[in-house]
């Protein structure tokens, strides 16, 4: 899948799940459960033990899934993730070396940023999307709306504190997509190995995104 196709798929679905688990086994189960619910995009945080191998295994087992590397802190690790098959790179904060690695290798880059200066810097450096984190602590949907006024051309991903009550508001405020973790992938569902629970939540969140986008157009 090309970089353009990855970006288009992110825009289409509007949700990037993050499988922030304590084990590689749990992460793989969670990723495949979310994909079964219709969200074939997955961020694998490098806080997972063996995170690079999780990317490699998900890519091998799920050729239709878009798998990316998250919580990147060092460019060397980003390169290892790319070698494992990662199709996008994302970080919690802005690291221009990681942005450059993504650009050089032709994959989508979604750096984290918070302030207007960081967001503008990330976009001018070549970011495909800018992940606003921690979004809820900075004002939530109202902060996204405030950013979209001067930066209508920058695709923003709201990350941090997105849940069933706020996801629609983030989309209505102008977010191109949202990042989600435990509110989409409940720890108890992982513990019980209940993929149906996660399927239901994935369908519900996709429906809310679709409804909010339709409302935004009216």
Residue (of 2, 35, 10) closest to 155 by Cα position:
10
Q: What is the mean pLDDT of each run of 10 residues along the chain (218 residues)?
A: 96 97 97 98 97 98 97 97 98 97 98 98 98 96 98 97 96 98 96 97 98 90
CA dist 188 and 190 (Å) reads 5
Angle subtended at Cα 76 by Cα 73 and Cα 81, rounded to the nearest 5 degrees:
85
Domains of the chain: 3-111+177-217 (3.20.20.70)
- Which pLDDT score, from 0 to 100, does residue 125 have? 98
C-alpha atoms less than 13 angstroms from C-alpha of 57 in its C-beta half-sphere:
14
Contact 106, 88 (CB under 8 A): no
Upper half-sphere CA count for residue 140 (Cβ side, 13 Å):
9
User: 124-152: per-residue pLDDT in tens?
Assistant: 999 999 999 999 999 999 999 999 999 99
Annotated active-site positions, please? 43, 131
């Amino acid at each position: 899948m090309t970089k353009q196709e990855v970006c288009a798929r992110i825009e289409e679905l509007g949700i990037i799940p993050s499988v922030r688990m304590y084990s590689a086994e749990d992460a793989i189960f969670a990723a495949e459960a979310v994909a079964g619910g219709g969200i074939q995009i997955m961020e694998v945080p490098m806080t997972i033990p063996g995170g690079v191998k999780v990317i490699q295994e998900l890519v091998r087992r799920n050729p239709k899934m878009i798998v990316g590397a998250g919580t990147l802190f060092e460019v060397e690790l980003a390169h290892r993730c790319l070698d494992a098959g990662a199709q996008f790179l994302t970080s919690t904060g802005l690291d221009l070396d990681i942005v450059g690695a993504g650009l050089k290798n032709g994959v989508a880059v979604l750096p984290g940023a918070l302030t207007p200066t960081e967001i503008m810097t990330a976009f001018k450096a070549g970011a495909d999307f800018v992940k606003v984190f921690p979004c809820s602590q900075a004002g939530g949907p109202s902060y996204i709306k405030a950013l979209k006024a001067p930066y209508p051309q920058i695709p923003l991903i709201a990350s941090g504190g997105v849940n069933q009550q706020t996801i629609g508001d983030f989309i209505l405020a102008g977010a191109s997509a949202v990042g989600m973790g435990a509110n989409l992938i409940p720890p108890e569902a992982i513990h019980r190995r209940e993929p149906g629970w996660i399927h239901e939540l994935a369908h519900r969140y996709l429906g809310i995104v679709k409804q909010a986008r339709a409302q935004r157009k009216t």
